[in-house]
């Protein structure tokens, strides 16, 4: 049955459509979009809301949500803490997560993402095997859990099964990494094929291709996989920690991003996660390559990774998206603010993201993270809302005091810099209210399953 809505305003690339009349078909696709009422519409639901495209979460490790907030203390006997000690705790969690727990954790996590305004997530998935390190009968067993969780709550997912073979540059994997491993490119390709077949059963699922990191796959196999003619988004962790840079220089005589640029052809399907520690030449070359970076400010800050050279990268025309990674934070507004504020603190200047007079930081950050984030999902759309496309939206309360007073030209900056999920009326995916009044329709059952999974 067709549905019609009237919103106070709806965001388009050229500005705000106001008022905004939206018609949807039975499948949640847009059939009407105008500032004029639909002729002869029988029933129109009036909503005092400002509509924007849903946020794109371009990097997620779902199982790590189970340890969010639990590693903020010095371990017994430790004088300090860093990424590598945190990683050991994460490995312990990974070793004991069952498929049932994975589904419960992911379902809760994805519902919370929706509550914060995300409508799509790229799941960087390397927890493939059983606790003994043996492949499940269905190679995509754990992937099924993630895609089913996304389908159940109503968020779009791009599942990126990850190739992981080594424990470090020319170093065998450790026993704690046994659930992650593919022994050769052929074994990984079998996993990818199984994942693509599994994804065909989930209407909200897509698939990407991914390599864990430069240190986790032999260099000749990285080249081999990047030469595969696949029309999929490609993801890789890179240059997150200085220790990784030093090891790469010792083994390959080049920095990680430098080596990748010299040995494979990068383009708009490529998404380099973190890329924190680049020199100026790497930064400029990466921006010119057409590849995108995925930045995860709350996780990068939590792990003490360092600051990405955003100002230079943006000045060189580079593109970026955001992700919540370990999920110590799930607020897209916070990710965008953290990203900007880190640069402001470093350079002791404001509005670092603006390139010329009249630019608006919030507008730039929102659109950049939206369109680059969509590419990370394998979604090539470059419009906000169009006839025939699915209605995936975050709807903000137009009566919120700050939004009620903000001029249209500053509405996006108000959303990005001054608001959070509490200002949302809800989130829609495929024209369905997945969150309304801060709750998912199955919130009680989802929470109960999550608590049981972590208490067992």
Among residues 129, 271, 274, 292, the one annotated as catalytic is 274
Out of 305, 325, 340, 397, which one is annotated catalytic? 325
Q: Does residue 234 sit in helix, strand or coil?
A: strand
Alpha-carbon span 142 to 100, nearest angstrom: 9
DSSP state of 434: E
Tell which residue, 303, 324, 329, has the closest CA to residue 81: 303
- CA–CA dist 329, 431 (Å, integer): 27
Burial tier of 306 (Cβ tally within 10 Å: 0-12, 13-18, 19+): middle
Decide if 360 is catalytic: no
Nearest of 126, 203, 192, 110 to residue 165 by alpha carbon: 126
HSE-CB of 269 using CA atoms within 13 angstroms: 16
CB 207 within 8 A of CB 159: yes
Residue 279 falls in the annotated catalytic set: no
Gap between the Cα atoms of 315 and 303, Å rounded: 27
d(CA 136, CA 142): 9
Query: What amino acid positions are annotated as catalytic residues?
Result: 274, 325
């Amino acid at each position: 049955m067709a549905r019609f809505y009237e919103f106070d305003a709806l965001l388009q690339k050229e500005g705000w459509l106001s008022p905004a009349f939206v018609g949807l078909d039975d499948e949640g696709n847009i059939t009407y979009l105008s500032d004029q009422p639909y002729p002869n519409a029988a029933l129109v639901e009036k909503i005092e809301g400002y509509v924007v495209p849903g946020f794109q979460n371009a990097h997620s490790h779902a199982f790590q949500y189970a340890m969010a907030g639990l590693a903020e203390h010095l371990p017994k006997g430790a004088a300090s803490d860093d990424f590598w000690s945190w990683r050991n705790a994460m490995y312990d969690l990974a070793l004991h997560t069952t498929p049932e727990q994975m589904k419960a954790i992911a379902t809760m996590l994805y519902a919370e993402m929706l509550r914060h305004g995300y409508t799509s997530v790229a799941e960087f998935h390397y927890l493939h095997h059983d606790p003994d390190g043996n492949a499940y009968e269905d190679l995509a067993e754990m992937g099924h859990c993630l895609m089913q969780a996304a389908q159940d709550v109503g968020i779009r997912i791009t599942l990126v099964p990850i190739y992981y073979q080594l424990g470090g540059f020319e170093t065998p994997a450790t026993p704690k990494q046994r659930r992650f491993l593919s022994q050769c490119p052929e074994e990984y390709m079998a996993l990818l094929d199984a994942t693509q077949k599994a994804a065909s059963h989930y209407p909200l699922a897509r698939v990407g291709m991914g390599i864990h990191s430069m240190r986790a796959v032999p260099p000749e196999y990285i080249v081999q996989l990047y030469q595969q003619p696949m029309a999929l988004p490609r993801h890789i962790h890179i240059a997150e920690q200085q220790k990784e840079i030093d090891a790469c220089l010792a083994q390959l005589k080049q920095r990680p991003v430098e080596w990748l640029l010299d040995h494979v052809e990068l383009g708009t399907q490529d998404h380099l996660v973190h890329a924190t520690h680049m020199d100026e030449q790497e930064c400029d070359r990466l921006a010119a390559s057409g590849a995108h970076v995925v930045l995860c400010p709350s996780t990068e800050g939590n792990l003490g990774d360092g600051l990405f050279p955003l100002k230079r990268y943006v000045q060189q025309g580079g593109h970026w998206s955001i992700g919540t990674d370990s999920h110590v934070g799930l607020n897209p507004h916070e990710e965008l603010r953290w990203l900007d504020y880190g640069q402001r603190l470093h350079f002791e200047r404001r509005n670092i993201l603006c390139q010329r007079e009249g630019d608006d930081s919030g507008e730039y950050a929102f659109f950049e993270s939206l369109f680059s984030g969509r590419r990370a999902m394998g979604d090539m759309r470059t419009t906000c809302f169009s006839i025939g496309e699915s209605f995936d939206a975050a709807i903000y309360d137009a009566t919120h005091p700050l939004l009620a007073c903000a001029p249209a030209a500053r509405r996006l900056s108000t959303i990005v810099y001054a608001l959070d999920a509490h200002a949302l009326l809800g989130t829609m995916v495929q024209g369905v209210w997945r969150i309304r009044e801060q709750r998912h329709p199955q919130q009680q059952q989802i929470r109960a399953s999550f608590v049981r999974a972590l208490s067992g």
